[in-house]
Amino acid sequence: MQETTLPLDGLSSVRGKPVIARFDGGMLSSNTGVLALGEIERRLRIADRLAVCIEDPRDPTRIIHGLADMIGFRMKMIAAGYEDLNDACALRRDPVFKMAEGVLPSDGELASQATLCRLENGPGVRELLAMGRAFVDLYCASFKVPPKRIVLDIDDTFDAVHGGQQLRLFNAHHDEYGFQPIVVFDEAGRFVAAVLRPAKRPNGVEIRAHLRRLVRAIRAHWPRTRILIRADSHYTSPLVIDWCRANAVDFVLGLAPSAPLRRRVETLEASTHARFEASTKTDKIRRFKDFYHAADSWTRAERVVARVEVGPQGADTRFVVTSLAGGRAKTIYEEVYCARGQAENHIKAFKTHLAADRTSCTKATANQFRLFLHAGAYWLLWSLRAALPRRSRFAVAQFDTLRLRVIKIAARVMEMKTQIRVSLPSSCPDEPLMRLLLQKIPRLVT
């Protein structure tokens, strides 16, 4: 392996001794934690699940890099913070990335940037639909036993683009072109689904079709599991409510305020405001009310929970509609509906920490495949965090923190005749964490 031997300029001397720094250290890596990601991937088999969905058009006698190997390499790159495909030009020679893919450090290089680019542009619509089902299969396989009930948070997020990508659309709210993919996570943060779509508000027909495919795939594994859908008012459509009712899917959805709804809480708003005026005016006063309401476009009356809040910043009233008949109004709103706010953190991890908005390909199918690759990286880091003890301070750490403390560890790799020795820094502050992780990973559900 060729090394750059030109010295680095601009380093100050230390006590009169010049500092000479060169990129000639040999088989070194700054991503030793990728080995742990490799252990997780071998148990989850994310790359294998996606690879079987793709028809490989290449000549089998001339294939050097298999589909699963390339997908696995790309997902680990993203998890390690290398979302730019050009980084593969150097990382394909990284000894740790090689070992994570089951390749000896002295063996040939991993897939190149050009090869990975062709991979991203290869899958068609049918293959992408199969990958979507594969992620649902992965989600269901992450449970030891079928749960009695699952909670799915469905939301969309804006993804700005700066070229002539297919499906791009101008969004007036964000004042730029982009996509607005729909993403689904469960209440524990597991990734379930992602659909690339134009940057506009989804309508009832589109949401219903997405829910139909998703619920059908989940019930193929768990026919008796209750499913609860949580979402904001974007997803409160008569078509969605009727479909959920017809298919025994529970829902807690935000409801946009309207004049008829406001009239139902006028008395409560007035009394809450009076209580606040009579108080010290330092704390907010929050009260709740539930009632049955039927909008003109609804086919039946549904239970509506109203939350009235008055504080130093003024009054605020919110509404949610739900199929849940039991439970107090306060419990429905604060403990069930408001918990969906955690989905914003999952989207943040998906976009900010894993750069899932790097949808810069021209073809829509290629950008959808990129969403799945970033979803695979999300599963790797989520499983890494899930393997930690609940009392550990890293059990709730953000993905970028895990990457900094667990993955970005430098090491020297020495390949011998009978073994491969990885020498990590003696001063590594997270040695106990790495030891614990490698003990816990074999217990992951596969």
Q: Which residue would you say has higher pLDDT here, 234 or 377?
A: 377
Q: How far is CA 309 from CA 266, 332, 337, in A?
A: 13, 16, 16
The order of strands in the sheet holding 169-171 is 159-160, 176-179, 169-171
pLDDT of residue 324: 94
Q: Is residue 406 within 8 Å of 33, Cβ to Cβ?
A: yes
Average pLDDT over residues 20-44: 89
Q: What mean pLDDT comes out for the span 215-228?
A: 97
Rounded CA-CA distance 105/35 in Å is 13
Average pLDDT over residues 177-184: 97
pLDDT band at 5 (very low <50, low <70, confident <90, very high): low
CATH 1.10.12 fits 125-353, yes or no: no
Residue 4: the pLDDT is 53
**Cα separations (Å) of 359 from 120, 205, 241, 328, 378?**
11, 25, 32, 43, 16
- Rounded to an integer, the average pLDDT of 168-193 is 96
429 or 355: which leads in pLDDT: 355
**Could you tell me which of 101, 94, 112, 114 has the C-alpha nearest to residue 47?**
101
Write the pLDDT tens digit of every residue in 305-347. 999 999 888 889 999 999 999 889 999 999 999 999 999 999 9
Is the distance from CB of 225 to CB of 197 less than 8 angstroms?
no
Pairing of strands 226-231, 149-156: parallel
Q: Residue 244: which of 264, 230, 263 has the closest Cα?
A: 230
Q: How confident is the model at residue 1 (pLDDT cuts 50, 70, 90)?
A: very low
- Do 262 and 308 form a contact (C-beta atoms < 8 A)? no
Full-model pTM: 0.93
Distance of CA 115 to the CA centre of its chain: 25
The pLDDT of 139-159, averaged and rounded, is: 96
> For the chain, what are the domain ranges?
28-121+363-443, 125-353
- Bridge-based pairing of strands 285-293 and 302-311 is antiparallel
pLDDT on residue 306: 96
Instruction: Indicate if the pLDDT at residue 91 is higher than 80.
Output: yes
Reported as a pLDDT band with limits 50, 70 and 90, residue 3 is very low
- Give the pLDDT confidence score for residue 2 in this predicted structure: 47
* 161-173 exposure pattern, b = at least 16 Cβ within 10 A, e = fewer: beeebebbeebee
**pLDDT tens-digit readout, 265-290:** 999 999 999 999 888 888 899 999 99
Mean pLDDT calculated for residue range 260-265: 94
Whether residue 93 has pLDDT greater than 70 = yes
Buried b (16+ CB within 10 A) or exposed e, 401-410: ebbebbbebe
pLDDT of residue 446: 55
Q: Is the pLDDT of residue 376 over 70?
A: yes
> How much of the chain exceeds pLDDT 70, in percent?
98
User: What mean pLDDT do residues 127-139 have?
Assistant: 97
Q: What pLDDT is stored for residue 351 in this prediction? A: 95
Alpha-helical runs (H) found in 17-124: 34-44, 46-51, 67-79, 88-91, 95-100, 113-120
